[in-house]
Amino acid sequence: MGTNIRPEVSENNKYWISRHRYYELKHFCLQYPEWKKSYISLDGLPMRSLCTADSARSNGVGKPTEMYAEARIYYKDRMEMVEKLAEKAAGDLAGLLLKAVTEGLSFEKIGPPCCKEVWYAAYRRFFWLLDKARK
Measure the CA–CA gap between 115 and 111, rounded to whole angstroms: 9
Nearest to 17 by CA among 28, 33, 27, 6: 6
17 located within any domain: no
7 located within any domain: no
Question: Structural domain of residue 66, as residue ranges?
Answer: 23-133
18 located within any domain: no
Q: Are 128 and 17 spatial neighbours (Cβ–Cβ below 8 Å)?
A: yes
60 located within any domain: yes
Distances in whole angstroms, Cα of residue 60 to Cα of each of 47, 89, 107: 16, 47, 52
Query: Quick one: pLDDT at residue 22?
Result: 95
Average pLDDT value for residue range 51-69: 64
pLDDT at 55 over 50: no
87: confidence class by pLDDT, cuts 50, 70, 90: very high
10 located within any domain: no
Measure the CA–CA gap between 97 and 95, rounded to whole angstroms: 5
Distances in whole angstroms, Cα of residue 52 to Cα of each of 55, 74, 85, 118: 5, 20, 36, 50
Instruction: Report the percent of the chain where pLDDT is more than 90.
Output: 67
Instruction: Report the percent of the chain where pLDDT is more than 70.
Output: 79
Among 62-66, 103-107, 110-114, 124-128, the minimum mean pLDDT is found in 62-66
59: confidence class by pLDDT, cuts 50, 70, 90: low
115 located within any domain: yes
Please tell me which residue, 55 or 68, carries the higher pLDDT value.
Answer: 68
* DSSP structural state of residue 12: T
Query: Quick one: pLDDT at residue 38?
Result: 93
15 located within any domain: no
30 located within any domain: yes
Q: What does the buried/exposed string (b/e) look like for 117-127 if buried means 16 or more CB atoms within 10 Å of the residue's CB?
A: eebbbbbbbbb
The count of structural domains within the chain is 1
What confidence tens digit (pLDDT) does each residue in 7-32 have? Answer: 556 777 898 999 999 999 999 999 99
57: confidence class by pLDDT, cuts 50, 70, 90: low
State the chain's mean pLDDT as an integer. Answer: 85
